Structure 1
Amino acid sequence: IVYKTLPTLVRMCKKDKEPSVRATGADILAYLTEIDTILQQTASICDHLIPTLAELLKYQSNCISLLGYSDLNNQPITAATVKKLEQEVITTQEIKQAAFKAFASLGANDEDIRKKIIETDYIMDHIVSGLSDPNIKTRLSALRCLHSLSRSIQQLRTTFQDHAVWIPLRNLLHNASDEILSVASSTLCNLLLEFSPSKQHFLDRGAVDLLCELTRREEAALRLNGVWALMNMAFQADQNVKSQILNSLGTDQIFRLLSDPDVNTLMKTLGLLRNLLSNKPHIDHIMSLHGKQVMQAVILILEGDHTSEVKEQALCILANIADGDSAKEFIMSNEDVLKKLTSYMMHSNVKLQIAATFCISNLIWSEEDGANNRQDRLKEMGVLKLLQQLLTTNDTTLFDRVKTALQQFNN
C-alpha cells in the first residue's frame, strides 16, 4: 500500500487527470487513511498531497464556458449540452466531497497534519462555504472535515475564531438529518471546551435547549453528544448558564441518563453534575434547589452495579457538595452516605479511597463554620482511626489526601 497504492492514488488527484479520476483518487485515499495513523502520516508527505487536495476544492467545471459560448452565439442550449452541464455539476460536487473527506481522514489524529491542512491557502474559507452548500453530501463532507480539524487545541483558539465557524454550524444544527446532527453535535463538543473562544457563542437558551433535546433522542450517539456538550458547556460557566441547563434538562431526565445503558453517556452525565456543582456559591445555590434529587442520584450510582470508574465520579460529586457551605449538610445529615464514605475509604480500589478521603477532608475543613461539630461527628464514626490506618498506604496521592485530612483534625 505505502509504495504502490498510495503514490498511485496521489497521482490520480493531480491536475492533469480527468475530473472523475481525481474525485475517485481522493475518495479512495479518504477511505484508506481513515483510521490508520501510519498511512495518514505517510500520505500527508507523499508528493505534495495536501496542496493537491486543496486544488480540488478550487476546481471549476466547464459549465460557465459552455453557457458563455451559447450566449455569445445566440444559440439555444441543446439537450446534449444540458446533459453535459448536469454531469459537470455532479462531478464538481463529487470532487469537493472527496477532497473534504480526504482532509478529514488525514487530520483525524495528528496535530502537525491538521496544522498543515489549516495553513493551506483558503482551506477554512472552503470549509465554511461547504457547510452552507445546497448539496447535502457536500455539507456533510465539509462538516466531517471541520469535525476532524476541531480536535486541534491550537486551531480552536485561533483559526476557528477567525473564521467564525460557529455561524454555519449553528445553522446546521436546526432541522438537520440525524447524520448531520451526529457530526455537528460531535464538533460542537469540541467547540465548547473551556479554552475555545467559540464557546461563548453557544452559551444561550437556544443552544442549551437544543442540546437537552439531544439527550432525549433514541439514538445513543446523539444522547452521548448532547450530554457531552452540556458537560463542556457547564465547565467554569456562570450561575445563569448552569441554571438554564438544569431547568431545561430537568432532574427526571438526569435520572434517566444515569440509568442509560451506554456507560459513556452515564460517565458524561456524572461529569455534567460535577461541573454544575463547582464553585462554592453555585454548589450551595443548586443544592438549595435540587439537593434531595442530587443526593438520590449519587446514592443510585454508589449502590448500583457499576465499575469503579463510575463510582469514583459519584464520590467526586460528593466531594464537590462537601466543598459548599450550606450544601455540606446534605451529606452530614445522611447517615447512610456517611457510612458509604467510610466504607470507600477502606476499599481495595485506591482511586475510590482517594475520592472518599477527599470528600471527608472537605467536610471537616477546619477554617469553615461548624467544622468542630462535623469533626466530632465523624470521629464518633471512627473516621479519625481510619485515616490513621491509611497512613501506611504506598500510594503517594492517597497519602497526601490522608495527611491533609488529619491536619484538619489537628487544627
Structure 2
Amino acid sequence: MLFEMQPFTAFMNVESTRSYIDDLYSQDPNKCLASIICIKNSVIGSNRQKASVIAQGIVPRLIYLLKDRNMKVSVRIEAAVTIGSLAKGTEDHIELLINSGCIQIILDVLEENEPKLIDACLCCLRTLSHQSSSCNTKYTVKNLQKLLSFAGPKETLQRQSCVASILSSACKSAVEQNSLCSVGAPTIFATLLAVQNYSVRIPVVTCLASMCWGNQIVASEIVNTSCKDIKIPNYLATLISRDRPIEMQLEAARCLTNLHRAGAIPSYDPIITYRTLPCLVRLCQVEHSEAHRALAADTLAYLTEVDSNLQQVAAISNQLVSALVDLLKCPSIAARQAAFRAFASLGANDEDIRKRIIDTKCLMDRVVEGLGDENKKIRLAAVRCLHSLSRSVQQLRTTFQDHSVWRPLMTLLADAPCTELLTAASSALCNLLLEFSPAKEPMLQQGVVQLLATLTSQADPSLRLNGVWALMNLAFQAEQRVKSQILTALGTDQIFRLLADSDTRVLMKTLGLLRNLVSPRTHTDTMMALHGPQVMQGVVLVLEGPHTPEVKEQALCILGNIADGERARDHIMSNEDVLKKLIDYMTHPAPCLQEPAVFCINNLTRRGEPGAIERQMKLKELGVVNILQQLQSTSNTVLLNR
C-alpha cells in the first residue's frame, strides 16, 4: 500500500516534528512507519535533534513497537534502526536507552525468525554495546549461544561482524570471558579469521583480545584452537604484516600481546619477539596517524611492562625513544598517556635504558609538565613514568635534582588526588627520599614528613605501605632531628597500629623504619632515651604475635641495634621477658631467628664496655654460656662467627 511522505529536513525543530511524533502513536501501521522514518532521518548526525525527540518521550513507544510481534515487520525494523541511531548520541542518551530495557528487548527479538529484523537488531545491539562505557549487560549462556549462532560460516559478513563486536564488549570480567569460551567462541572465531574480509576479521580479533585479557585459562584455550590445522596465534602472526591495514595490524598485535601477558605465549616465542614487538615499534613511528601511534605505544607499554628482555629489545629498536618523545608533543590525551606508559615500561629494570630515556632532549621537561597537567590520566601516566625512571641512582643525584621533580610531585600529593594517583605518586616519592637523593632536604622543608605520616593512616594498604616505606628511606642515616620529627609526626599510637597491621608488607616496613630510627650507634642512646619504652613495647608485640620468622627476624634485628647502645641496652637487660625470648631464639631451628638473637647477645656482652662484666654474669646465670658452647659445633658459618 502506498502512503504519502511529507518532506523533512535534517534539523527539524520540536514544533515541526510534533506531527510526526503524534503519528508514532497511531493505530495505522502506515502512519506509524512514516513517522518512524521521519524521526530517524531527522536525528541522523544531530545530537540536538536526538535530545529533542527523546525529551518528547518517544523511547518507550519505540521499544513497544519493536517488541510487538503483531506489528508489521517493517515498523519493527525501523524502530530498531531508530533506536540504534539514538544510541549514537551522547552518553546520557545511551544511558536512557539502556535503562529503558532496550538490550533485553533486542535479545528477545533475536529469538524470532525474521532475517531483516534480526539484522537490524544486531546492528542496534552493536551500537548500544560500544557507544556506552556504562553498559553492564550480563549475557546468559543462552544469549551467548544465540549470538554465536549468527556468526557461523554460512551467515552474512554483516552478521559475523556485528556478533564479534557485540561480544567483545561482553568480556569485562573473568566470569564473562569464561562463559564465552565455554560456549565455543574460540572455535567459531578461528573459522572467521579465515574470512577474507577485514570488516569481519578486525572485530573478531578485537573480541579474542578482550576474551584473553588477564585470563590464562581462556588464553590457553585460544592459543590451542585451530582452523584448518592453523592455530590462532599463527593466523594472527600473518595479520601483523606490513601489507595489512593498520587497524588489522594493531588489533592482531594487541591480541598477541594479551595472549602473552596472560601466560599463554612465552616472551621468547618468535611470534612475540620477532613479529609482535617489531610491529608495535614500527607503528609508533611518526609517519603513522596520531591515533594509531597512540594505540601502538599503549600496547607496547603493556607488552614490555614486566619482561626485561623485551624492554631491552624494544629500547634498541630504530628511533623508538625519539618517536615516543614526539608523541608527547601531540595534543591528544591518548597519545601523551601512551607515550608516558611506554617510557615507564621501557625503563622499569635497566639502568642503561633509563639513562638513555632521561638524557633524551626535553623528556624530563615533558614529565614535569605532565605532573601538573589538568587531565587526571596524563598526571597518572606521568607519575608512573617518573616512578620508573626514579629507580636510577645516578639520575636521582643529577637530572632529577636539576629539574626539581620533587616540587610538582609534592604539589600533586598535597592536592589529595584519587587513590590510584596518590599510590603512584607516593611510590615515586619513596625513591626520591633514598639516602643519596639531594631532594631530601628541600622536601623536608616542604613538610614531607607530615604528609607521609598522614598516608600511613589511610584505609588503602598500598598507601600505608608507601607512607611507611618512604619514612623508612627518609630515616636511613638521617640526622637526629629528622628522626625525632618522624616519631613526633607518627605518634606512639600510630606506630602500634602499624605494627598490628593486617598487611605483612606494612608491618615489615614499619619494623624497617624502627630499625633505621635506632641506628647507627651514635643515635641509639638518644632515641631510646626519648622513646625507649614505646620501642620495646612494639618489639615485644611483634615477637609475641603470630608472625612468620621473616617478620620476627626484623624485630630481633632492632633488639640487636638497641643492644649496641651504651645506655640503650639497659632497656633489654632490665626486661627479663625480653631476655628469655632472646635466649629461646638462640636455639630456634630457623637460622634467620638464631643469627640475630646471637648477634644481640654478642652486643650485650661485648668486652671492654661499661657494665660488660655484670651483663655477662647475668646472662651466664640464664644459661647463655651453655647455649653458646653448644652452638660451637654448628655448620652455620654465619652463626659460628657471631
* Alpha-carbon contact 1:7-1:47 (below 8 Å) kept: no
What corresponds to 2:64 in structure 1? none
Amino acid corresponding to residue 57 of structure 1 in structure 2 = L
1:156 counterpart = 2:396: yes
Structure 2 distance, partners of 1:25, 1:349, is 50
Structure 1 distance, partners of 2:626, 2:397, is 49
Q: 1:2 aligns to what SS in structure 2?
A: helix
Q: 1:291 aligns to what SS in structure 2?
A: helix
Offset of 1:276 from its aligned partner? 0.5
Of 516, 529, 533, the residue aligned with 1:292 is 533
Offset of 1:361 from its aligned partner? 1.2
Of 240, 244, 247, the residue aligned with 2:488 is 247
What corresponds to 1:75 in structure 2? none
Structure 2 distance, partners of 1:58, 1:318, is 54
- Higher-helix-fraction structure: 1
Of 442, 453, 460, the residue aligned with 1:212 is 453
Offset of 1:37 from its aligned partner? 2.3
- List aligned pairs for 1:9-408, cutoff 5 A: 9-59=280-330, 89=331, 91=332, 93-175=333-415, 176-204=417-445, 206-401=447-642
* Alpha-carbon contact 1:319-1:355 (below 8 Å) kept: yes
Amino acid corresponding to residue 358 of structure 1 in structure 2 = F
Unaligned runs of 5+ in 2: 1-271
Structure 1 distance, partners of 2:345, 2:407, is 24
Higher-Rg structure is 2
Q: In angstroms, what is the RMSD of aligned CA positions?
A: 1.4
Q: Note the alpha carbon deviations across 1:165-185, whole angstroms, 9 max, x for none.
A: 111111111122222111110
Structure 1 residues 209 and 222, CA, compared in 2 at 3 Å: closer, same or farther?
same
Deviates more, 1:280-289 or 1:369-378: 280-289
Structure 2 distance, partners of 1:7, 1:280, is 55
Deviates more, 1:1-10 or 1:249-258: 1-10
Amino acid corresponding to residue 352 of structure 1 in structure 2 = L
Q: Note the alpha carbon deviations across 1:47-97, whole angstroms, 9 max, x for none.
A: 2211211221234xxxxxxxxxxxxxxxxxxxxxxxxxxxxx4x2x32211
Structure 1 residues 385 and 192, CA, compared in 2 at 3 Å: closer, same or farther?
same
Structure 2 distance, partners of 1:351, 1:150, is 32
Q: 1:392 aligns to what SS in structure 2?
A: coil
Structure 1 residues 117 and 205, CA, compared in 2 at 3 Å: closer, same or farther?
closer
Structure 2 distance, partners of 1:323, 1:25, is 57
Unaligned runs of 5+ in 1: 60-88, 402-411
Q: Note the alpha carbon deviations across 1:265-298, whole angstroms, 9 max, x for none.
A: 0000000000011133532222223222211111
Offset of 1:240 from its aligned partner? 0.9
Offset of 1:205 from its aligned partner? 7.0
What corresponds to 1:6 in structure 2? 277
Structure 1 distance, partners of 2:489, 2:545, is 27
Offset of 1:346 from its aligned partner? 1.0
Structure 2 distance, partners of 1:347, 1:157, is 43
Deviates more, 1:183-192 or 1:25-34: 25-34
Amino acid corresponding to residue 18 of structure 1 in structure 2 = S
Q: 1:261 aligns to what SS in structure 2?
A: coil
Structure 2 distance, partners of 1:233, 1:215, is 14
Structure with the larger RCO, 1 or 2 (CA within 8 Å, 6+ apart): 1
Structure 1 distance, partners of 2:524, 2:276, is 58
* Alpha-carbon contact 1:31-1:105 (below 8 Å) kept: yes
Q: 2:615 aligns to what SS in structure 1?
A: helix
Q: 1:197 aligns to what SS in structure 2?
A: coil
Amino acid corresponding to residue 174 of structure 1 in structure 2 = A
Structure 1 distance, partners of 2:538, 2:630, is 30
Q: TM-score, normalised by structure 2?
A: 0.56
Structure 2 distance, partners of 1:334, 1:187, is 41
Offset of 1:11 from its aligned partner? 2.1
What corresponds to 1:407 in structure 2? none
Structure 1 distance, partners of 2:524, 2:483, is 10
* Alpha-carbon contact 1:274-1:320 (below 8 Å) kept: yes
Q: Note the alpha carbon deviations across 1:181-207, whole angstroms, 9 max, x for none.
A: 111100011111112222222224721
| Percent identity of paired positions between Structure 1 and Structure 2 | 62
Q: TM-score, normalised by structure 1?
A: 0.87
Offset of 1:157 from its aligned partner? 2.1
Q: Note the alpha carbon deviations across 1:17-51, whole angstroms, 9 max, x for none.
A: 11111111111111222222222222112222112
Q: 2:526 aligns to what SS in structure 1?
A: helix
Structure 2 distance, partners of 1:199, 1:206, is 11
Structure 2 distance, partners of 1:352, 1:24, is 51
Structure 1 distance, partners of 2:511, 2:455, is 17
Q: Note the alpha carbon deviations across 1:91-114, whole angstroms, 9 max, x for none.
A: 2x3221111111111111222221
Structure 2 distance, partners of 1:281, 1:323, is 10
What corresponds to 2:94 in structure 1? none
In the alignment of these two chains, the number of paired residues is 370
* Alpha-carbon contact 1:205-1:244 (below 8 Å) kept: no
Q: 2:609 aligns to what SS in structure 1?
A: coil
Amino acid corresponding to residue 41 of structure 1 in structure 2 = Q
Amino acid corresponding to residue 389 of structure 2 in structure 1 = L
